[in-house]
Amino acid sequence: MRRLKAAALLIAAAAGASLVPASHALTVTPQDCREGADFIGNAARSRDNGMPAARFIARLDEDLILIQSVPPALRWFARDQDDARFLRDWVTRVFDEPALPELHGTAFLAECLALRTDE
């Protein structure tokens, strides 16, 4: 059952990427996408190790607020609100739709790369 959910998650992420309007395009680099995929995989590992969703998301929200004080060109991932929203939505998905960390990471990477605006 867990594999079926994981496969559905991956397919939904890949299919959903092409349906997102251009206004939600990401300003991140391919390297940001790879690092973001690692972050999402680690969020799933935190979930598997008992981290409550509310605690993880609250910490992410605090970090995103702090990141806004850094000039956009120097930020990791969250260069604008769409980037930050995308990352936060994925963290929420990790906790709401449990799957293997690697599957969450792979699905995140595929969607992130598909939504980038600089190519």
Q: Tens digit of pLDDT for each residue in 77-107?
A: 888 899 999 999 999 999 999 999 999 999 9
Determine the pLDDT at residue 75: 82
7: left (phi over 0), alpha (psi -120 to 50) or beta: alpha
Summary mean pLDDT of the chain = 83
The structural domains of the chain, with segments of one domain joined by +, span: 2-115
Q: Tens digit of pLDDT for each residue in 6-62?
A: 444 443 444 444 334 444 678 889 999 999 999 999 999 999 999 999 999 999 999
